[in-house]
Amino acid sequence: MSTIGATIAAPFDEALLARVEEAGINASAPREQRWVDGWLLRLSPGKAKRARCIQAVAPGRLDIDAKLALCLPLFAAAGLRPFVRITPFAQPAGLDRHLAELGMVRVDDTRVMVLASLDACAAPAADVPGAGPIEAADAAAFADWVGRARGSSAAERSAHAERIGKPAVPHHAVLAKDERGDVVAAGLVVVEGEVAGLYDVFTAEAARGRGHAERVCRHLLAAAVARGATVGYLQVDAANEPARRIYRRMGFADGYPYHYRTPADGAASAASGAS
């Protein structure tokens, strides 16, 4: 069995999960990125690590240390801590082990959950007591509410708005309100062909446990189906059991894991051994 085959979850086909991974990379594309010998460097100053990391998508020609020697100084120049995203598709083979041997620590254990058919999931959620309208939101309003709710800095909120306001793939963001008109939840969907990804699903702390998140997700997936999507995916912290419980109830199941590697002290030169 291949390394990839050993880490993906039944009953999903490897080709489907590879398509989901590609769509996920495209969905979070920032303006600040460049290609370095098979690795896609993302240097957005936003909060989401997927937009400020190394996406190791192809083996390239150089060895891992030579790649790091080229990439890590770029993070230092941007004033960002370097992260390498490790998925079952990361290249070259042995990347995670090599980075661990260099002393880079593992953080943010995450699961990509997948739903192979959106037919049932896109049905409306059960009535949520006290729920108000779900309204489309522009990038600035969406990023501001989500960022403030998460405790993001002003710079991180601005970078988030920039990324989703001028996306490589169309985004549809919404804010859900209660009957008083206060925003209680948010989320966005990114549709690329037949694949729809849920991102930035967040519920205000005081409104959790009432069904707002599921209501937002079903609303977004219905919009995705209307745009031709048939497959859904999302990325969730492996330890976030309340959220994972909601997604499993909607039919999502674990497709594959990923995590990040980063220098223990955050320094760009720590992993490469270079000055």
Supply the pLDDT for residue 126. Answer: 65
What angle do helix axes 139-150 and 154-165 make, rounded to 10 degrees? 140
Q: Note the pLDDT of residue 269.
A: 45
The pTM for the full model equals 0.83
Structure confidence at residue 163 (pLDDT): 86
Say which DSSP state 128 is in.
-
C-alpha pair distances (Å), 28 with each of 20, 22, 72, 137: 13, 10, 21, 18
More confidently predicted of 71 and 4: 71
Name 84's bridge partners: 54, 261
Helices (H), ranges, 166-264: 212-226, 241-249
The pLDDT assigned to 6 comes to: 57
Q: Return the pLDDT at 107.
A: 96
Query: Looking at the DSSP assignment, which residues form a beta bridge with residue 161?
Result: none
Average pLDDT over residues 124-145: 87
pLDDT value at 182 more than 80: yes
Query: 3-state class of 17 per DSSP?
Result: helix
Q: Tokens 């995916």 correspond to what residue?
A: 233
More confident residue, 135 or 36: 135
pLDDT at residue 29 is higher than 70: no
The pLDDT-based confidence of 124 (bands split at 50, 70, 90) is low
Among 54-68, 97-111, 127-141, 177-191, the least confident range: 127-141
CA dihedral 81, 87, 92, 94 (to 10 degrees): 90
Q: Cite the residue boundaries of each domain of the chain with CATH code 3.40.630.30.
A: 131-229
CA distance 184 to 186: 7
The fold of the 131-229 domain, in CATH, is: Aminopeptidase (3.40.630)
In the predicted model, is pLDDT for residue 147 greater than 50? Answer: yes
Lowest mean per-residue pLDDT among 8-22, 114-128, 189-203, 261-275: 261-275
* Average confidence (pLDDT) over 225-251: 94
pLDDT for 49 beyond 70: yes
pLDDT for 271 equals: 37
pLDDT, tens digit, for every residue of 185-229? Answer: 999 999 999 999 999 999 999 988 888 999 999 999 999 999 999
Rounded to an integer, the average pLDDT of 65-88 is 95
Query: Which pLDDT score, from 0 to 100, does residue 166 have?
Result: 82
What value does the mean pLDDT take over residues 97-114?
97
Residue whose structure tokens are 């991180």: 156
Task: Let me know: does 262 contact 81? Beta carbons within 8 Å.
Answer: yes
Query: Whole-number mean pLDDT of the chain?
Result: 88
pLDDT of residue 9: 66
